[in-house]
Amino acid sequence: MRLLRTEGLKKYFGDTRAVDGVDFSVNEGEFLSLVGTNGAGKTTLVNLISAFLFPDSGRIFVGERDITYSPVDERIRAGIARSFQLVNLFDDLSVLDNVALAIFARERKTKRVFALAERDTAVTAEALDLLGQFALGGKAQALAGGLAQGERKLLDVAVAYALRPKLLFLDEPTSGVSTRDKAQIMDTVSAVVRGGKITAVVIEHDMDVVFKYRPRRRHARRQVPRRRPARGDPAEPGRGDVSPRDRRFRLNAPRGRASMLEVKDIHVSRGPAHVLHGVSLSVDEHEVVCLVGRNGAGKTTTMESIMGFLPLTSGQILFHGEEVASLPVHQRALRGMGYAPEGCEIFPELTVAENMMISRWMSAKAHRRLEAVASGDIEERVFSVFPEVRDLMRRQGMNLSGGQRKMVAIARGIALAPTLLLLDEAFEGLAPIVVKRFRDAVLKIEDLGISLLIAESNLVIAARIADRLYAIDRGEIIFHGKPEQALEDDNVMKALRG
């Protein structure tokens, strides 16, 4: 029995045909994969089906019911639910509360959610049972924001599953996690979905995942511009005009550069959990430093602590010789510290140009490079790194693909005119073709005179771009040295494997 179908579905963003006449169908009981590279249109198609976007033309049917222009809540009631490529959780609520809220929404109890939450034992019991199925039972009282990335991915799926859908879309459920975690996530999700006899569509570009877990596949071709693609388009292999510099030359170059960032023996907690234990690292001027570690090792906590999102229990953070540990986030940004977070966190309702304008305003307020801001040189610096952004300037943040969101998040950081740019998992969830494009971009950012501190879970990627490398495990620095030394260090390799 056909559960869902689309007919001639189209969605254009300016000159780009994100979805162009798509006929797509899902039969009841299937576990289907939708595959394609970054920018192929996978997430846009799911956004159309789940009402996060509406099509320019075409129809969407659940059974024989036309839901083309039905709002999100009606589609959920029609049996459609989804998880997200960038997890969509209430980070300040517990794991249990995130799932319970989905159950309250399903039962239409949200108007009295705070009055009912504590005494609705049936909802609590169902939520705990569901968390047990997703191997999160022991994390029920933990804050969602404190989970490791693999656990956050599972919780995001659990929240969607709590809606009791007939059809569940899983948007890249393994992006940004280690190979070992990918297997654990997919084993768990596959067992729960099949056990519940739920029809599911997995959106994925990791073909190992696709071939292992899915008998039927659909392929999404990349989005096609009406004009000739610009050089450097990440969806166009071989078109990039950037050639990585010889790392051997860079590593053997004389050092003697001034220190820009010094992190000294910092200890940081998330709630009751002591996460960082005496972390120390440094970044010099005109240098690329990578912090590598598996998911949950403490990379993001380190980055958020440096940027000021988390307070220190003890320790020091010096930026250009100034102690900044007590300064709020915006003051660190005004001093020249930029940040592209793991979840991108661009403003979805604003256009790319408006997102960039905020950074330009911050740069001007800091009285840095006012002539550059006035002359438009800031934009040219951004376009020199990501020429693709020029064609995205009028597009809203919510209408970008995963790879484009990452690109814009980094571009927004460059527009701040920083001296130091922090990139948290910049390569997470990207197809191999696009990873190379982003590696080239990192080297171009350094050529602009911006130092970089990059948190990365893939040692091989980190080794190709870093001047120096730190490895972190369980909140402690376990290695500091040259990338090639890390590749030969048994302790580092063991820690990254988990």
Q: Residue 235: what pLDDT? A: 37
- 396-432 b/e with 16+ CB inside 10 Å = b? bbebbbbbbbbbbbbbbbbbbbbbbbbbbbbbbbbbe
Q: Which residue type is seen at 106?
A: R
- Position 112 confidence tier, pLDDT thresholds 50, 70, 90: low
The strand pair at 216-219 and 31-35 is best described as parallel
* Residue type present at position 434: V
pLDDT in tens, 401-420: 777 888 899 999 888 889 99
Whole-angstrom distance, CA of residue 306 vs CA of residue 329: 9
- What does the mean pLDDT of the chain come to? 83
What does 241-290 look like in DSSP terms, one character per residue? ------HHHHHHS---PPEEEEEEEEEEEETTEEEEEEEEEEEETT-EEE
**Which DSSP string corresponds to 324-341?**
-TTS-HHHHHHTTEEEE-
| Whether the predicted pLDDT of 53 surpasses 80 | yes
- State the average pLDDT over residues 255-269: 86
More confident position, 272 or 304: 304
CATH of domain 247-497: 3.40.50.300
Quickly state the pLDDT bin for 4 (edges 50, 70, 90). Answer: very high
Number of neighbours of residue 491 by Cβ within 10 angstroms: 12
Report whether 136 contacts 95 (CB < 8 A). Answer: yes
CB 429 within 8 A of CB 209: no
Tokens of 433: 């073709």
Same fold, 2-225 and 247-497: yes
Instruction: Give me the amino acid identity at 290.
Output: C
Nearest Cα residue to 390 out of 6, 107, 11, 16? 16
Percent helix, percent strand, percent coil in the chain, to nearest 5 = 40, 25, 35
Report residue 60 CA to chain centroid gap: 28
pLDDT at 241 over 90: no
Tell me the pLDDT tens digit for each residue of 346-403: 888 889 989 888 877 776 665 554 444 444 577 788 888 988 888 888 888 888 877 7
Task: Please check the confidence at residue 234 and state whether its pLDDT lies above 50.
Answer: no
Tell me the pLDDT tens digit for each residue of 164-184. 999 999 988 887 776 677 888
Sign of CA dihedral 72, 73, 78, 83: positive
pLDDT for residue 332 is more than 70: yes
- 3-state helix/strand/coil string of 148-180: CHHHHHHHHHHHHHCCCCCEEEEECCCCCCCHH
Q: How would you list the strands of the sheet with 273-284, edge to edge?
A: 273-284, 259-270, 314-319, 322-323
As a whole number, mean pLDDT of residues 285-294 equals 93
298-321: average pLDDT: 95
- Does residue 262 carry a pLDDT above 60? yes
CATH topology of domain 2-225: Rossmann fold (3.40.50)
Residue 157 pLDDT: 95
| Residue among 411, 386, 408, 390 at smallest CA distance from 399 | 408
Q: So where are the chain's domains? A: 2-225, 247-497
This prediction's pTM: 0.64
Tell me the C-alpha distance between 36 and 203, whole Å.
Answer: 8
7-44 residue pLDDT tens: 999 998 776 788 999 999 999 988 888 887 767 788 88
Confidence at residue 231, expressed as pLDDT on a 0 to 100 scale: 34
- What is the residue-wise DSSP string for 34-73? EE--TTSSHHHHHHHHTTSS--SEEEEEETTEE-TT--HH
Calculate what percentage of the chain has a pLDDT beyond 90: 44
pLDDT at 478: 94
Tell which wins on pLDDT, 440 or 375. 440
C-beta neighbour count of 153 within 10 angstroms: 28
pLDDT in tens, 441-473: 888 998 888 999 999 988 888 998 999 999 999
CA angle (180 as vertex; 178, 181 as ends), nearest 5: 65
Region 303-322 average pLDDT: 95
What does the alpha-carbon distance between residue 132 and residue 127 come to, in Å, rounded to a whole number?
Answer: 9
